[in-house]
């Protein structure tokens, strides 16, 4: 496997594990945060000048795994937050998940705009 994919999955697993162990989060929230931070970690490891650019264009075939993992997390994040909020538990978990959503979207957008490909 590619180094960026492995590192991204490790970052996601760490964040998901912390949410589960520290807060006793539901599997929905843990899965959303894990996928979001795995996608964010993938792009942060793969691209050098990541956060200095914008403009999304999801057309690079080599990045499909990173997009798929992160977009899965972005898609289920709303449902995970809604389930947790409906249970009456409003904690730091919300901040962690929403920072993950924003981070993934910024990172993937910057990676898509990187004309030098910046890959290692």
Residue ranges covered by each domain of the chain? 3-113
The per-residue pLDDT for range 39-53, each reduced to its tens digit, is 888 888 887 566 555
Q: Kindly report the pTM of this predicted structure.
A: 0.56
- Neighbouring residues of 100: CB distance < 8 A, sequence distance ≥ 6: 15, 32, 33, 36, 37, 40, 73, 77
Chain mean position to CA 62: 17
- Angle at Cα 120 formed by Cα 99 and Cα 112, nearest 5°? 50
- Euclidean distance between CA atoms 22 and 57, whole angstroms: 36
- Euclidean distance between CA atoms 119 and 115, whole angstroms: 11
**What proportion of the chain, given as a percentage, has pLDDT over 90?**
10
**What proportion of the chain, given as a percentage, has pLDDT over 70?**
76
How far lies 2's CA from each of 20, 64, 65, 66, 107, in Å?
A: 27, 12, 10, 11, 18
Average confidence (pLDDT) over 70-86:
77
Decide if pLDDT at 54 tops 60.
no
């Amino acid at each position: 496997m590619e180094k960026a994919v492995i590192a991204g999955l490790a970052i996601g697993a760490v964040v998901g594990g912390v949410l589960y162990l520290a807060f006793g989060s539901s599997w929905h929230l843990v899965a959303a945060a894990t996928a979001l931070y795995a996608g964010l970690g993938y792009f942060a490891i793969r691209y050098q000048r990541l956060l200095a650019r914008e403009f999304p264009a999801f057309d690079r075939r080599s990045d499909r795994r990173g997009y798929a993992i992160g977009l899965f997390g972005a898609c289920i994040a709303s449902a995970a937050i809604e389930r947790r909020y409906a249970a009456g538990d409003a904690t730091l978990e919300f901040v962690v998940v929403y920072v993950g959503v924003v981070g993934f979207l910024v990172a993937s957008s910057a990676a898509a705009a990187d004309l030098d490909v910046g890959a290692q």
